[in-house]
Amino acid sequence: MLAMVWGFREATLFFYCLGWAGFAKTAQQCSRGSEICHNICTSQSREVVASFREKSIIKQNINYLNKNPMSKLSTSKNKSTPIPTKLNEEDFNEFILPHLSMPKRGPKCKIGYHKIFNDILKVLYTGIQWKELPIERNLETGKPEIHYTNVYKHFAKWQADGSWERVFNSSIFFLKTQERLDTSIIHGDGSNTVAKKGGDGIGYSGHKHQKGEKTMTVVDNNGYILSPMTVDSVNRHDTTLLPKSLNHLMNLKKSISLELNGTLFNLDSGFDSLVNRKYIFNRQMKPNIKENPRNRKSPKKGRKRLFDKEAYKLRFCVERTFAWKDKFKRLLIRFETIQARYQAFKLIAYTLINIREFCCGTT
**pLDDT tens digits, one per residue of 123-157:** 999 999 999 999 888 888 888 889 999 999 999 99
Domain-located, residue 361: no
Of 297 and 327, which is predicted with more confidence? 327
Q: Are residues 259 and 214 in the same domain?
A: yes
Whole-number percent of the chain with pLDDT over 70: 77
Strand runs labelled E in the chain: 185-195, 203-205, 210-219, 225-233, 264-267, 286-289, 333-334
Pairing state between β 185-195 and 333-334: parallel
- Does position 74 have pLDDT exceeding 50, yes or no? no
- Does position 76 have pLDDT exceeding 50, yes or no? no
User: What is the domain extent for residue 21?
Assistant: 2-63
Mean pLDDT value across residues 327-350: 93
Q: Are residues 333 and 212 in the same domain?
A: yes
Q: Are residues 247 and 140 in the same domain?
A: no
Of 106, 125, 158, at which residue does a domain stop?
Answer: 158
pLDDT level of residue 333 (50, 70, 90 thresholds): very high
Of 158, 191, 214, at which residue does a domain stop?
Answer: 158
Is residue 101 within 8 A of residue 161, CB to CB? The reply is yes
pLDDT digits (tens, 9 = 90+) for 224-258: 999 877 788 888 888 888 988 898 899 988 888 88
Contacts of residue 2, Cβ cutoff 8 Å, sequence gap at least 6: 10, 11, 14
Greatest Cα pair distance, the chain, in angstroms, is 111
CA of 344: how far to CAs of 37, 55, 76, 91, 280, in Å?
68, 48, 34, 20, 28
The rounded distance, in Å, linking the Cα atoms of 188 and 200 is: 25
Helix (H, G, I), strand (E, B) or coil at 169: helix
Q: Are residues 276 and 186 in the same domain?
A: yes
Of 261 and 50, which is predicted with more confidence? 261
Of 116 and 30, which is predicted with more confidence? 116
- Does position 28 have pLDDT exceeding 70, yes or no? no
The rounded distance, in Å, linking the Cα atoms of 65 and 269 is: 25
Mean pLDDT value across residues 194-221: 89
State residue 93's pLDDT score.
Answer: 94
- Does position 328 have pLDDT exceeding 50, yes or no? yes
Q: Is 142 left (phi over 0), alpha (psi -120 to 50) or beta?
A: left
State residue 3's pLDDT score.
Answer: 41
Amino acid symbol at 191: S
Residue 270: DSSP 8-state:
G
Q: Which of 179, 168, 160 is nearest to 72 (CA)?
A: 179
- Does position 38 have pLDDT exceeding 80, yes or no? no
The sign of the torsion formed by the CA atoms of 241, 244, 171, 348 equals negative
State residue 80's pLDDT score.
Answer: 65
pLDDT level of residue 78 (50, 70, 90 thresholds): very low
The rounded distance, in Å, linking the Cα atoms of 263 and 255 is: 18
Kindly report the pTM of this predicted structure.
0.75
Rounded to the nearest integer, the mean pLDDT of the chain is: 80
Is residue 269 within 8 A of residue 290, CB to CB? The reply is yes
Q: Are residues 300 and 208 in the same domain?
A: yes
State residue 126's pLDDT score.
Answer: 94
Domain-located, residue 33: yes
